[in-house]
């Protein structure tokens, strides 16, 4: 038993050394030399970026652009849990953002909607224990409802942003 252990201790490292040397020779023959970390590997040539082309005049992702004018940012309306005084607007469906906030430390949430003229309509709601992502839909809808109701039924109102404090 002792001779077998000694034999394994001596022979196994020698076999491993010979095996790795043989593999290195095979790789060299095939042209697959190992590079050291200090060697610079040739990176493929990157094509030049496409030339910048601005969009045509008058085209804007949120509707037609308007001439420079003072934008009104209305004072935030604080709404209770049950919602604001505005009638619900059946706005078009849109992809709702996902908020990765630490919900336990949030005291209030403010969502802002913007109309086609650029005026902004913020709505603030106090957060409570258990307030989370599921409750954001109501606050977002309140901002859209306020925008639609106070802008004279401008149907191009969209959700601009939501923040917390």
pTM of the shown model:
0.57
Mark whether 30 and 87 lie in a shared domain.
no
Specify whether 101 is located in the same domain as 153: yes
pLDDT at site 21: 58
Asked, for residue 81, whether it belongs to a domain, the answer is yes
Is 44 within a domain? no
In a domain, 116, yes or no: yes
Domain that holds residue 28: 1-34
Residue 158 lies in a domain: yes
Taking a C-beta distance cutoff of 8 angstroms, is the pair 27, 34 a contact?
yes
Please give the pLDDT value at position 51. 79
pLDDT of residue 122: 95
Residue 107 and residue 28 share a domain: no
Give me the pLDDT at residue 148, please: 92
Same domain, 155 and 83: yes
Q: Are 140 and 83 within 8 A, CB to CB?
A: no
**In terms of domains, do 30 and 82 share one?**
no
Question: For residue 140, with 0-12 CB atoms within 10 Å meaning exposed, 13-18 middle and 19 or more buried, which class applies?
Answer: buried
**Position 58 in a domain:** no
| pLDDT per residue of the chain (165 residues) written in tens, 0 to 9 | 566 656 656 666 665 655 555 555 565 655 555 555 555 566 667 677 677 676 666 555 666 555 666 777 888 888 887 777 888 888 888 888 888 888 899 999 999 999 888 889 999 999 988 888 888 988 999 999 999 998 888 888 999 999 999
pLDDT at 108 (0 to 100): 94
- Same domain? For 30 and 81 the reply is no
Is 156 in the same domain as 83? yes
Q: Quick check: is 59 in a domain?
A: no
The pLDDT of residue 48 is: 72
User: In which residue are the tokens 């404090």 written?
Assistant: 165
- The reported pLDDT for the residue numbered 22 is 53
Q: Kindly state whether residue 102 falls inside one of the protein's structural domains.
A: yes
Our count of domains for the chain comes to: 2
Which pLDDT score is estimated for 15? 58
- Is 68 inside any structural domain? no
């Amino acid at each position: 038993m002792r001779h077998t252990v000694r034999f394994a201790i001596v022979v196994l490292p020698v076999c491993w050394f010979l095996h790795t040397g043989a593999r290195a020779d095979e790789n060299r023959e095939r042209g697959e030399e190992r590079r050291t970390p200090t060697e610079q590997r040739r990176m493929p040539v990157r094509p030049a970026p496409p030339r910048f082309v601005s969009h045509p005049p008058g085209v804007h992702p949120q509707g037609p652009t308007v001439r420079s004018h003072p934008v009104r940012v209305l004072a935030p309306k604080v709404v209770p849990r049950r919602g604001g005084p505005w009638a619900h607007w059946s706005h078009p469906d849109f992809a709702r953002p996902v908020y990765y906030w630490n919900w336990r430390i949030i005291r209030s949430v403010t969502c802002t909607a913007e109309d086609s003229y650029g005026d902004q309509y913020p709505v603030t709601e106090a957060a409570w224990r258990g307030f989370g992502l599921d409750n954001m839909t109501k606050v977002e809808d309140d901002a859209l409802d306020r925008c639609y109701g106070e802008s004279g039924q401008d149907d191009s109102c969209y959700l601009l942003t939501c923040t917390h404090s």
